[in-house]
């Protein structure tokens, strides 16, 4: 069978690359989990968790547009590295830094206007009061976040993943310590509550970018890669290529994140407790999603490098292996959500009302885990092959035309509460997984046929 032969040749290198990237993604997500857990211990637990839910979800939706633009680096750098063109990789890195700087003020405009958005969707005033300053604090870390992402995409496309893991693991320590000091007012610092968590996250993101800069400079000095000799002039054709590749990915990421952000805003109309339950369930599925997301990054790199060295069969094997790994892990994650919903909820809060309401949402999340694993890995494989448009159209149609309207109808017309929106979004993810699996199989077959 083709899958068995692909696993034999590609499983080891894919896992070797994917494991550090998965750890990096888990490290990224664990910041949000720690933030939620630590503000959940404040006296106004439900409102504090709700504010972090609303602020972080809407902020990351805006930031993901910029991060998505930079995903073009997966294709450009991995294919250049596969072809042995390191200087070309460095030129892409330099121009991605320029692009990050240019994107920052454009993305900060909506961040500073979010108070109007929160009021417009009818969010609970108790949540808005905490969410606005929290979101503005996150905005301070936007440029470091974009720079970190650009540096990370280039490093992982050149098989340098250990510094990424180190940066995120240590950044979690920085974030947890910052939360402890700034949320609760320790060591002479003021008691800032929820907004202290936002400042802590911004500081941790600046730290991550600094770590990767220092590593690149150290690596260049040790191995004489001539990074500092890279021309610093703006390469407009390269920027155009980055944007052409990245814009569909940016729109896909934004559409996917925005639908959950809008769902969060709609659930905020139901009050602090439903919003808190939504955030706990969302944190849980986001945590499991980090594993196929790391596998997806590995798929983009492995597929892109194989295409760069003129090995279409290797590219097909890399994509198939990544999808298999993503599907297996997420199936196990879905089983865990069904088996231990109460235990998962208690990690975040001792409030029994929140715990009871979270169980149903975790069941809805378990229903789409398999398909989420498939679609995420397939998206990475397609990105490595240079196809970023198909996932964008899939996510738009399934989420915005089908899933969100259905979920809103179930929530507000059928009185199903937060569960209604989760059911609608579950259906969307199932459809996306099926369609992208079919698209990747067609792409893989074309790659293999190109050898004949």
**CB 197 within 8 Å of CB 134:** yes
For residue 438, how many other CB atoms are within 10 A of its CB? 11
For residue 220, how many other CB atoms are within 10 A of its CB? 16
Structurally, the chain folds into a number of domains equal to 1
Give, in order, the Cα–Cα distances in Å from 89 to each of 154, 265, 315, 359. Answer: 7, 40, 20, 47
Q: Which domain holds residue 177?
A: 2-449
Q: What is the residue-level pLDDT of the chain in tens, covering all 452 positions?
A: 466 766 677 778 888 877 777 777 777 667 777 777 777 767 776 777 777 877 777 787 788 888 888 878 877 887 788 777 888 888 888 898 999 999 999 999 988 887 777 777 676 677 777 778 888 888 888 999 999 989 988 888 887 878 888 898 899 899 889 888 888 878 878 777 778 888 999 999 999 999 999 998 998 888 787 777 788 888 888 888 888 888 887 887 777 777 877 887 788 788 777 877 887 888 888 888 888 988 988 888 888 888 878 888 888 888 899 999 999 999 999 999 999 888 888 877 777 778 888 888 899 989 899 999 999 999 989 988 888 789 888 989 999 999 999 999 998 888 888 889 999 989 999 999 999 999 999 988 887 776 55
Instruction: Annotate 170-198 with three-state secondary structure.
Output: HHHHHHHHHHHHHHHCCCCCCCCCHHHHH
Determine the 3-state secondary structure of 85 from DSSP. coil
Cα-to-chain-centroid distance, residue 363: 22
């Amino acid at each position: 069978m083709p899958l068995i032969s692909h696993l034999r040749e590609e499983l080891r290198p894919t896992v070797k690359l994917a494991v550090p990237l998965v750890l990096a993604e888990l490290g990224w997500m664990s910041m949000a989990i720690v933030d939620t857990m630590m503000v959940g211990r404040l006296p106004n637990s439900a409102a504090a968790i709700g504010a972090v839910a609303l602020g972080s979800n809407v902020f990351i939706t805006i930031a993901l547009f910029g991060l998505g633009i930079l995903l073009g680096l997966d294709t450009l750098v991995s294919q250049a590295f596969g072809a042995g063109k390191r200087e070309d990789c460095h030129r892409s890195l330099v121009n991605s830094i320029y692009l990050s700087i240019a994107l920052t003020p454009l993305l900060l405009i909506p961040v500073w206007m979010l108070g109007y958005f929160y009021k417009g969707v009818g969010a609970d005033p108790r949540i808005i009061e905490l969410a606005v300053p929290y979101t503005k604090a996150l905005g301070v870390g936007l440029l470091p976040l974009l720079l970190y992402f650009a540096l990370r995409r280039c490093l992982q496309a050149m098989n340098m993943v250990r510094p990424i893991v180190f940066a995120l693991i240590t950044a979690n320590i920085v974030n947890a310590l910052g939360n402890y000091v700034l949320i609760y007012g320790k060591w002479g610092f003021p008691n800032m509550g929820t907004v202290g968590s936002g400042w802590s996250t911004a500081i941790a993101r600046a730290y991550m970018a600094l770590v990767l800069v220092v590593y690149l400079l150290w690596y260049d000095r040790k191995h004489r890669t001539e990074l500092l000799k890279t021309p610093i002039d703006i390469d407009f054709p390269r920027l155009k290529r980055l944007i052409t590749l990245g814009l569909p990915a940016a729109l896909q990421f934004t559409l996917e994140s925005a639908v959950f952000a809008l769902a969060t805003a709609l659930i905020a109309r139901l009050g602090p407790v439903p919003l808190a339950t939504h955030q706990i369930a969302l944190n849980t599925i986001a945590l499991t999603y980090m594993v196929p997301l790391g596998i997806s990054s590995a798929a983009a790199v492995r597929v892109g490098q194989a295409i760069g060295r003129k090995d279409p069969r290797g590219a097909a094997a890399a994509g198939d292996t990544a999808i298999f790994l993503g599907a297996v892990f997420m199936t196990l994650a879905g089983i865990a959500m069904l088996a231990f919903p109460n235990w998962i909820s208690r990690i975040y809060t001792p409030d029994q009302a929140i715990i009871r309401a979270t169980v149903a949402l975790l069941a809805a999340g378990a229903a789409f885990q398999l398909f989420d694993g498939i679609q995420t890995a397939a998206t990475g494989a397609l990105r490595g092959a240079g196809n970023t448009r198909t996932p964008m159209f899939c996510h738009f149609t399934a989420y915005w035309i089908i899933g969100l309207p259905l979920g809103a109808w179930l929530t507000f017309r059928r009185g199903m509460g937060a569960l209604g929106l989760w059911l609608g979004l579950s259906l969307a993810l199932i459809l996306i997984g099926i369609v992208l699996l079919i698209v990747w199989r067609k792409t893989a077959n074309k790659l293999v046929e190109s050898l004949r």
